């Protein structure tokens, strides 16, 4: 699942950008989660490097987009930056912070689709994959299509989209080392959870894509902190 942040102080353009992202996700069958921020200082507060793409307005009231981008680049060299502006000359400044592209207001869907297509392709170049055995041979599985890993009887069960399951001869420690940097975190000794699929947390359990998994008491604090950081500082 891709995570896109929209940083825009005008509610009208916030809605337009979010609607265009949702339209792109439906059309291209992409799983995309959006987070909305009303100014540069909002996204920088408790910033964590868990966004794939940031759509960043240049002219904002409290902290303009260029200063915001400079601060983001100090914390995150990998996130894809796309500037949103009414004036082309502002967009040119984006090269100083390695911005991928820019969108000119008013935003047309074809322009948004062109930019998102390029940005999503770049994201997928850096996707983590896992090779799993199937009845037809080996399958390379995108980590962002995995709900969680389960340790069971000296094997790892991979729970993926569409209810698919695969089995690996591997250790949970190895899975944690490999996928921890890609948004996975252990809620107990048996489960390594893809935080992007967390739907809710209640009464010592976490719901991941409809599956209820127990959160162990020793891991609860660390898990909740990891989830809060993944969601960009929003308390859960």
**Do both 159 and 46 map to the same domain?**
no
In a domain? residue 236: no
Read off φ and ψ for residue 233, nearest 5 degrees: 90, 0
Last residue of a domain, one of 125, 149, 183: 125
In a domain? residue 173: yes
CATH of the domain at 165: 2.40.50.1020
Q: What does the chain come to in residues? A: 236
pLDDT tens digits in sequence order for the chain, 236 residues long:
789 999 999 999 999 999 999 999 999 999 899 999 999 999 998 887 778 899 999 888 888 888 899 888 888 877 899 999 887 665 556 556 778 888 989 999 999 999 999 999 888 776 677 777 766 567 777 788 899 999 998 899 999 988 889 888 889 999 999 888 888 999 999 999 999 899 999 889 999 999 999 999 999 999 999 998 887 644 33
Q: How many angstroms separate the CA atoms of 98 and 101, rounded?
A: 9
CATH of the domain at 48: 3.40.50.2300
Number of domains in the chain: 2
Do the Cβ atoms of 104 and 85 come closer than 8 Å?
Answer: yes
Last residue of a domain, one of 101, 125, 149: 125
**Do both 196 and 212 map to the same domain?**
yes
Range of the domain at 54: 2-125
Read off φ and ψ for residue 163, nearest 5 degrees: 70, 15
DSSP 9: S
* H-state helical runs in 29-108: 40-44, 65-75, 88-92
Q: pTM value?
A: 0.62
Sign of torsion over alpha carbons 31, 36, 41, 47:
negative
**Do both 100 and 151 map to the same domain?**
no
């Amino acid at each position: 699942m891709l995570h896109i942040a929209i940083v825009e102080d005008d509610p009208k353009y916030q809605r337009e950008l979010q609607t265009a992202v949702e339209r792109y996700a439906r059309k291209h069958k992409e799983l995309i989660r959006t987070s909305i921020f009303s100014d540069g200082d909002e996204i920088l507060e408790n910033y964590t490097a868990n966004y794939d793409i940031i759509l960043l307005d240049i002219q904002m009231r409290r902290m303009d987009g260029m200063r915001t981008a400079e601060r983001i680049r100090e914390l995150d060299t990998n996130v894809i930056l796309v500037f949103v502006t009414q004036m082309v000359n502002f967009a040119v400044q984006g090269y100083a912070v390695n911005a991928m592209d820019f969108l000119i207001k008013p935003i047309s869907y074809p322009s948004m689709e062109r930019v998102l297509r390029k940005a999503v392709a770049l994201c997928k170049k850096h996707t983590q994959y896992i090779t799993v055995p199937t009845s037809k041979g080996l399958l390379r599985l995108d980590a962002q299509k995995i709900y969680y890993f389960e340790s069971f009887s000296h094997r790892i069960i991979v729970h993926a989209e569409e209810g698919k399951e695969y089995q690996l001869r591997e250790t949970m420690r190895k899975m944690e080392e490999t996928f921890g940097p890609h948004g996975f975190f252990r809620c107990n000794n048996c489960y390594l959870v893809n935080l992007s699929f967390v739907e809710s947390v209640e009464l010592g359990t976490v719901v991941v894509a409809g599956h209820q998994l127990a959160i162990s008491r020793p891991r609860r604090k660390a898990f909740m902190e990891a989830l809060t950081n993944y969601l960009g500082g929003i308390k859960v």
